[in-house]
Structure 1
């Protein structure tokens, strides 16, 4: 995916938080796909997404407006598992700024597998100038994984499909996406049957950082 398709880090963060809200309010289960937390050690906000099918997305936002996104699409041609033993695509992190390196996703003591990385530094999105596989529409899986974050409409389509939301709630979904938050009124629009546990549902999203 071309970097000029990416929105600002702030827009990404607002949509990411909105996805965390939908994941908690529209999907009744004990675990979540979308996460967002503050990391005091690095002074950043960190997000993770696992689609449950073997693909992961990681994000880190800095107070100065910088941001780094990492992703792994297990069926992408650029998977590290294309060879044995596995190894990253040549040059994948060759020009990654030093400040981002301590935040590289890990699986235990080893770096997590990645198929793409892109970062916002000095006011523009950047990625390594890689040699991509020919004749592949989405060789690193970034287009598919990042699609729910690229625009409010794309995020709304993802939400409606993922949680089987009725079209009548689309306006409420877009309102949450616009602000990355939900109050009691918006919650009623999202979950019309949630009047009995309204305060509990609001409490479930209160700990999400901004």
Structure 2
């Protein structure tokens, strides 16, 4: 699934943001050590902007910035034939059409390597857009990376509204079987409580995870 396929399937900005917050909250509970988490969310990334992110520990990653201008996604698949490390520069057309409102993200040091955006796929959506946008890109032949040459399949979990997405992921990645009701509780963004936290990780209480919830912007019972 390449970037064009993903652009047609990603949800609108508000549900995507909620989806990312739920994934980050689940991962924070299942994996308390931040450096080993797969999904993260920072509700205070910059003034007026939130950022969702994914790191798989093997070099693949994405970042999604949510703000007044809309949302901007940059993703990087390290084995992609479109990697700047392989081509020496960004793939033609990748960022040429990015609106000025998102220019700061194209040059953001946190998304860059050696002064250049680290990306093999880029999407964006402004509030007035009817769908997600991409550049006009001539994709190379499949290079053996996942299911697409640009690595955009990294976003496929964000296209699925079902909590089974995280249940299956946790079984495969974290090697744990989670309480389905607790996962559904967080998937629906219901306020976090002790019972839900403990159902997902018996070693934690709400007090242990409260600061993570605050950073994610996730509601917590008082």
The superposition leaves residues 6-52 of structure 1 with CA deviations (integer Å, 9 ceiling, x where unpaired) of: 112222211211222122211142524433222444x2112222111
Distance 2:80 2:190 in 1: 30
The alignment status of 1:54 with 2:54, answered yes or no, reads no
Task: State the TM-score, normalizing by the size of structure 1.
Answer: 0.83
Q: Which residue of 1 aligns with 2:185?
A: 175
How much does 1:172 deviate? 1.7
Which residue, out of 176, 181, 193, partners 1:165? Answer: 176
How much does 1:188 deviate? 2.9
Runs of 4+ in 1 over 6 A off after TM superposition: none
SS in 1 for 2:74: strand
The superposition leaves residues 69-101 of structure 1 with CA deviations (integer Å, 9 ceiling, x where unpaired) of: 100000112112223xx1111111110000101
SS in 2 for 1:57: strand
Q: Which residue of 2 aligns with 1:90?
A: 92
The alignment status of 1:15 with 2:19, answered yes or no, reads yes
Distance 1:4 1:55 in 2: 22
Task: Compare 32-41 and 72-81 and name the one that shifted more.
Answer: 32-41
How much does 1:135 deviate? 4.7
Distance 2:215 2:99 in 1: 31
Please tell me whether the aligned partners of residues 22 and 187 of structure 2 are also in contact (alpha carbons under 8 angstroms): yes
Distance 1:150 1:72 in 2: 18
Equivalences, count: 202
SS in 2 for 1:173: helix
Task: Compare 149-158 and 32-41 and name the one that shifted more.
Answer: 32-41
Question: Runs of 5+ in structure 2 lacking a partner?
Answer: none
Aligned alpha-carbon RMSD (Å): 2.4
Please tell me whether the aligned partners of residues 80 and 89 of structure 1 are also in contact (alpha carbons under 8 angstroms): yes
Distance 2:182 2:124 in 1: 31
Distance 1:120 1:180 in 2: 27
